Amino acid sequence: MMPKQPRFSNFSFPSRKQAWRWLLPLFLGLLFITTLIWLPIHEKEQETAERQEQLVADSLWVEQTIRFQLQRNEESLSLMAAEIAAGYLEGSRLQDRMENLIRNNHEIHRIIYLDANGKLLTSTDETLMSLDVLSEPSRTADQRARMTRSPLYSQPAADKTGPVMLDYHVPIFVGERYVGSIIASYLASSILDDMVPWWFAQDNEIALTDINGSVIHKRASGGAGRGIYTHHRALNLAGVSLQLATDSIKGAPKLLPSLLVDAIILLSVGLMWSLIALWRDINRRNAAEAALREQVTFRVAMENSLITGLRARDLEGRVTYVNPAFCEMVGMPAEEIVGKHPPMPYWAPEAMNEYQRRFAQVVAGNLPPQGFETVLRHADGTRIPVLFFESPLVDDTGRQTGWMGSILDISDRKRVEDLNRQQQEKLQASARLATMGEIASTLAHELNQPLAAISSYTTGVLNMLEHADAKALDRDMLQEALEKTGAQAQRAGQIIRSVHTFVKKREPMRSAITIAELIEAVAPLVELQAQKYFVSIEIDVPEDLPPVNADRVLLEQVLLNLTRNAIESMQNVPPARQVLRITAALDSRRPTSVVVSIIDQGHGIPPEVAARLFSPFFSTKADGMGMGLSICRTAIEFHGGALTHENNPQGGTIFRFSLPAYVPALQNRPIASTMRATRNG
């Protein structure tokens, strides 16, 4: 009997289809487990990255806020230094400016003004008696600023008053001569406490450190940082490099916030969401491409229709873009401009130094907030006055890639300004001629007297020469008659010269002139008017009164208009009150100004008339032009003074105008630009 063999006939290896049946679930299971492990880790890393990016963005914003505020203060201090060097700012005005700057900028602890020898002249800190309290780094920075002739910050250090200070030194030069320094001190604590927003300080611990990482000051309003989200941002200032170290108080995100729910939802809708998301992404991509094409077309059409010139430059100053308006403005095609480095072909040779200076300012980031005026050269050689506005160009990461300039052609505005200036000058000349017309009869009467005397004296001399022989001629009587004739001729000539000087058309020019000289020059014309109405004149001008910086003819016109109004207001008052007083004195509130008063005892000014007194073309006279007082106020205001009036306690009116005392730096300075600005205003 044969042994029984094992039965293998029913056994078979799994087929390929059967293998997929168990490999697919296995693959899906592994995918599920991998997803469960990877998803929370990825979410944690993504949340961590987002928090870190948010911290970096916020830190950058804070750093830019601090830098912007410091730059504003730097511009204010540089302007203050320039005005000190020009002689505009001194004494109480300087003290007021310094205190006002601190009052509007709480981060500034104090401002000090030193002379060329380092002597303390002015300080907003009344407890500061000497400069020994300054730290050694601050003194070193002051020497460096003086040597380099540029503003510098000092290294933060504690001075003898205790707190850690960061001093900003602005040297002041008049030409090549060093005349002093302005020092603004910041408390290290104020930089963080006053400049960092409260919401940022609540979520982060922020510290001000030096380049070595040593902490200068720390602010932790919301608590100490956890060291998870940190960022260091350089705060590079002129002369010193600091860092803003930010440490968030937020902790790391949790690994398993809702792992099972998220996994189930993700696996359930994953496929459908993927298909829908893919379909939507395709549609959005197509829509975005269509919108981009539409926006590009719209932008090109808009730029081609602009009359404002646009010009873009990279960080090296190379032109990267110009629009058609700019090409038309300079008369050059775009291919001759794009890619060019300074000097540009449209720069005018006479303004080359100004262009280089402006370009250096733009490269340094010192952009003027209100733009600046200059000229461009057209391809045909004509000069075009333009107004420039520059702004930084930044990419989507916030990194600056260049500058964009907007250029406006202001040729029409310049022509209008010149026309307005010419019209104003004609109006002033007409007003002076009208004034001469009003006193023409009195002038003719006054000239008739010396002319009649001259005629009488010359007739008498001729009779003496005709009826007397040479030996019997009385030489003393003849000499006396000729001297009287000459005196009368000089009197008539003085009156004619006064009128000629008054009505002569000329370009206004400031110069040093005393009030006494001014009154003496216009006195003959004032006396003519006063004699007509039997008005007596009293003049009170101290001999030690400083001169004023003004245009003689314009002020003569002001005095003549005001005295004529005062004299005419007293024609119907009793003779005892017909007195015109002209006085001058230093301004009690501003010792650097001189006040001139014209005081009458006439009928006064009613309230309804006073409200419109300085309005153009308003007059209470039947034949008046209504421009006298308006021109007077314009003339006084562009001299830097003010024209006011008030009731005279003895009856009548007091007109006062103030003028700044003479400053040597302003001698012979043309004031046409000032007049132009005033007239445009």
pLDDT at position 157 over 50: yes
**DSSP for 567-632?**
HHHTTTS-GGG-EEEEEEEE-SS-TTEEEEEEE--SS---HHHHTTTTSTT--SSTT--S-HHHHH
Residues facing residue 659 across a β-bridge: 594
Q: How confident is the model at residue 582 (pLDDT cuts 50, 70, 90)?
A: very high
The segment(s) of the chain belonging to CATH 3.30.450.20 are 54-248, 304-409
pLDDT in tens, 622-681: 444 455 677 788 778 877 888 888 888 888 889 999 888 876 644 444 433 333 333 333
Q: Identify the residue with better confidence: 278 or 437.
A: 278
Closest CA to 50 of 253, 220, 197, 223: 253
Closest CA to 567 of 653, 633, 650, 499: 653
Where residue 580 falls among pLDDT bands split at 50, 70, 90?
Answer: very high
Q: Is the pLDDT of residue 255 over 60?
A: no
Topology annotation, domain 424-680: Heat Shock Protein 90 (3.30.565)
Give the pLDDT score at 525: 74
Write the DSSP string, 208-249.
EEETT--EEEEE-TT----SSSEEEEEEEETTEEEEEEEEE-
> Are 539 and 582 within 8 A, CB to CB?
yes
What's the rounded mean pLDDT across residues 185-202? 84
Tokens of 361: 């300012």
pLDDT band at 8 (very low <50, low <70, confident <90, very high): very low
What's the topology of domain 304-409? Answer: Beta-Lactamase (3.30.450)
The sign one gets for the Cα dihedral 83, 89, 90, 94 is negative
Which amino acid appears at position 305 of this protein? S
- Is the pLDDT confidence value at 11 over 70? no
Q: How far is CA 91 from CA 95, 97, 98, 105, in A?
A: 6, 10, 11, 22
Report yes or no on whether pTM surpasses 0.75.
no
Lowest-confidence pick of 388-392, 500-504, 626-630: 500-504
- Is the bond preceding 343 in cis, omega lying within 30 degrees of 0? yes
Say how far apart CA 156 and CA 438 lie, in whole Å: 71
Tell me the three state secondary structure of residue 533.
coil
pLDDT band of residue 599 (cuts 50, 70, 90) is: very high
pLDDT-derived band at 583, boundaries 50, 70, 90:
very high
For domain 54-248, give the CATH number: 3.30.450.20
Q: How far, in whole angstroms, is CA 243 from its chain's centroid? A: 31
Q: Is the pLDDT of residue 489 over 50?
A: yes
- Residue 31 CA, chain-centre distance (Å), reads 67
Query: Which pLDDT score, from 0 to 100, does residue 674 have?
Result: 33
Task: Decide if pLDDT at 263 tops 70.
Answer: no
Query: Confidence band (pLDDT; 50, 70, 90) for 461?
Result: low
Alpha helices in 404-511 (DSSP H): 411-438, 440-467, 475-503
Domain span(s) for CATH 3.30.565.10 in the chain: 424-680
395-404 pLDDT, tens per residue? 878 888 887 8
Quote the pLDDT of residue 667. Answer: 44
